[in-house]
Structure 1
Amino acid sequence: MRTAAVCLILLHTLMHAAEPDPAADAWLAKTQLAPPLQVPATLQAWQQQRVQIRAKLNALLGDLPPRPPISSFQVISREDKGGYTLETLQFDNGAGEIVKGYVFVPKTATPQNKAPAILCCHWHGGQYDIGKQELLQTNATPVAAGPALAEAGYVVLGIDAPCFGERNGHGPDGPQQKGGNGEMTAAKFNLWVGRTLWGMMLRDDLTALDYLCTRAEVDAQRIGVTGISMGSTRSWWIMALDDRPRAAVCVGCMTRYEELIRAGMLKAHGIYYFVPGMLRHFDTESVIALGAPRPMLFMTGDQDGGSPADGVRHIGEIVSQVYSLHGGDASTHFENTIYPGVGHVYLPEMWEKTVKWMDRWVKN
């Protein structure tokens, strides 16, 4: 794991938006990027376009192996925590790794009284040793999200992403490569075999979603997804690739890539989520728009250098048009809040909004 000093430097970088980079302008001048998403005039036309965008996204992520079956999951321990049970589970992801996760099950959730559920995606933060432990800590969130959401009546699931938690040091180079070095070797391996580290990360997340939907105590029609930073990006990509999640809350990392390049802030994001060829086809508003008309809440600080505020606003303007195509009250299903003077952090008031959003759109 990074030292405290290095983590503070990383956080300082993410909290302060950069000035436009003239070097980036020179690079972009010689590159043909896809234009911003052009939202069609009708819902029918958008639905056709949506199918095409999703298919292209899946293709760009690479030649991913099939997701493993639910039978690959095993609960390896259970602990009574009073109002909920904490389970540790694992599954063979069919790609060379055993993935572990935590499930928080409220005592009130039973096969006869099915509960809503939330898939929690942990952040990056250079904290490779933490992973799923984030659900039990406050390293990224104002409260320990697992117990808090379980006590609010949700079944909660979170897994270690590649290179994090108990997967740190389990990449293709083994324990000799941990932390950022392990992340880099995992990215290199996946590129060589025709896929992306980001695609493999999302594949594991969708495998976790497969499992969550089959839990006897879970109402599969009431599942939300959430996270901060890398966890936020995982959340809105999950919404883009899969229609099962009912709603999402995404804190930070609402990043439009062209604006990120122009701000000279590519350094704010790790190698894990760069998808070859993506900007030849579309920028991130096309990904986020695939979540419509399901409720999605985005909360971003305007001093978060990893998400330049002009790009956040640009995404919001375009995605709002897609929600409007759905008519009715669909416009209330998309909220894009920008917090002035705030960096790459999860404020207590953001947590309160997260719970209210999930209660409104997932629980009820």
Structure 2
Amino acid sequence: MHAAEPNADAWLAQTKIAPPLKVSASLEAWQQQRGEIRAKLNELLGDLPPRPPVSAFQVIAKEDKGTYTLETIQFDNGAGEMVKGFLFIPKTATAQTKAPAILYCHWHGGQYDIGKNELLGTNATPVAPGPALAEAGYVVLGIDAPCFGERNGQGPDGPQQKGGAGEMTAAKFHLWAGRTLWGMILRDDLTALDYLCSRPEVDAARVGVTGISMGSTRSWWLMALDDRPRAAVCVACMTRYEELIRAGMLKAHGIYYFVPGMLKHFDTEAVIALAAPRPMLFMTGDQDGGSPIEGVRHLGKIVSQVYALHGSEAAIRFENTIYPGIGHGYLPEMWDKTVQWLDRWLKAP
């Protein structure tokens, strides 16, 4: 073995991990398997506190932006933190003319100070996603994930631990409490989804989720854990863990990403497949080290089998697009395709 090659084969040879997901032969059998997978995922995420009610949310600021209203919202997450978010409401969305909605999940990128402000800028996307989606007719909500935005430095060690150090501290605390940082991230996202679906301007039957990188991963996990999101667009981070290990690229993902015991039971195709038959679009660059392309193709093949169980019409609801020569990024054409996908699946009655 060359000195620069990973030791993955040796480590994996001495570790029992789950084989690739074997898809059930019938839809009825898959539905039972799906319930078992979802239950196991919730178990692996740990002993999460109950989500706070939508009555915990407050609107603390409101701005007229011409074609839409921008509200700043906050809620006590019942786990030691106050969480803030931005809600974009098109002027055309009312209690009488309800609009489709998007839960937007921001990325990681080591940009701990940005968080929900990603909605207002182009640090991760070709356009500012909040205003763009609002002007396209969507109610849009995005919150600060733990350790990001106004939550940077709000972990158990307080302001002395920010950035990656604060993220590590939060992960340590949650492990001691019998839960995962990833589970708590998703718990806050599901709390935000509760609120978004409760807004009078929103048609709760037409809600989607989207994001890039960590935001992508948040999106496909939310599709797995909850049936309310009707469609998703996930840019980058279509990652199969076994291929990630073999490529020597565990370094490409932060500590938040790792769920204890996951590979004892299944790899990520089991998570992504839970979304079927709801529409999901994945867009990944074939030079993205955090998503080894062999794993992207492997995932696509297995998940497609699950969609096929739902009939020929379901096949068009899963799309796995690979961009040659592209790394970990969000191209303008990807953004155009994102909006087209959301319009196709969320704007129809």
Q: Deviations over 1:262-309 (max 9, x none)?
A: 000000000001000000000000000000000000000000000000
Residue 232 of structure 2 corresponds to 248
Question: Is the Cα–Cα contact under 8 Å of residues 64 and 199 in structure 1 kept in the other structure?
Answer: yes
Aligned to 2:275: 291
Query: Alignment partner of 2:7: what SS?
Result: helix
State the shift of 1:95 in Å: 0.1
For 1:166, the equivalent position in structure 2 comes to 150
Q: Report Cα offsets for 1:190-237 as digits up to 9, x if no partner.
A: 000100000000000000000000000000000000000000000000
CA deviation after TM superposition for structure 1 residue 180, in Å? 0.3
Residue 311 in structure 1 maps to residue 311 in structure 2:
no
Deviations 1:111-170 (A, max 9, x none): 000000000000000000000000000000000000000000000000000000000000
AA in 2 matched with 1:58:
N
What is the deviation of 1:44? 0.2
Matched, 1:83 2:67: yes
User: 3-state SS of the aligned residue for 1:280?
Assistant: helix
Secondary structure, aligned partner of 1:31: coil
Instruction: Indicate yes or no: 2:349 matched with 1:349.
Output: no
Within the alignment, does 1:235 sit opposite 2:230 as a pair?
Answer: no
Distance in 1 between the 2:77 and 2:5 partners?
A: 41
Q: Normalization by structure 2: what TM-score?
A: 0.98
Tell me what 1:340 maps to. Answer: 324
Q: Give the whole-Å Cα distance in 1 for the aligned partners of 2:347 and 2:327.
A: 30
Residue 121 of structure 2 aligns with an amino acid whose one-letter code is Q
Q: 2:13 aligns with which of 26, 29, 35?
A: 29
CA drift at 1:321: 0.2
Q: Deviations over 1:46-89 (max 9, x none)?
A: 00000000000000000000000011000000000000000000
Structure 2 partner of 1:188: 172
Shift of 1:20: 9.3
Question: How many angstroms does 1:40 deviate by?
Answer: 1.0
Q: 1:95 aligns with which of 61, 75, 79?
A: 79
Q: Match of 2:198, as an amino acid?
A: T
- Letter matched to residue 307 of structure 1: S
Misfit runs of 4+, over 3 Å? 19-22
Structure-1 separation of matches of 2:235 and 2:42: 24
Matched with 1:141 is 125
CA shift, 1:363, in A, is 1.4
Calculate the aligned-residue CA RMSD, in Å: 0.9
**Is contact 1:20-1:263 (8 Å) kept?**
no
Confirm whether residue 270 of structure 1 aligns to residue 254 of structure 2.
Answer: yes
Q: Secondary structure at the match of 1:290?
A: helix
Q: Secondary structure at the match of 2:312?
A: coil
Instruction: Point out where structure 2 has 5 or more consecutive residues left out of the alignment.
Output: none
Aligned partner of 2:204 in structure 1 is 220
Per the alignment, do residues 158 and 20 of structure 1 end up closer, same or farther by CA in structure 2, a change over 3 Å counting?
farther
Instruction: Give the distance between the partners of 2:49 and 2:129, measured in 1 at CA.
Output: 31
1:14 — aligned with what? none
1:21: how far off? 3.9
- Give the aligned partner of residue 309 of structure 2: 325
Give 1:10's aligned residue. Answer: none
2:314 is matched by which residue type in structure 1? A
Q: TM-score, normalised on structure 1?
A: 0.94
Match of 2:242 in 1: 258
Q: What is the identity, as a one-letter code, of the residue corresponding to 1:151?
A: E
Shift of 1:241: 0.1
Rounded Cα–Cα distance in structure 2 between residues aligned with 1:23 and 1:288: 28
Q: CA deviation at 1:22?
A: 4.0
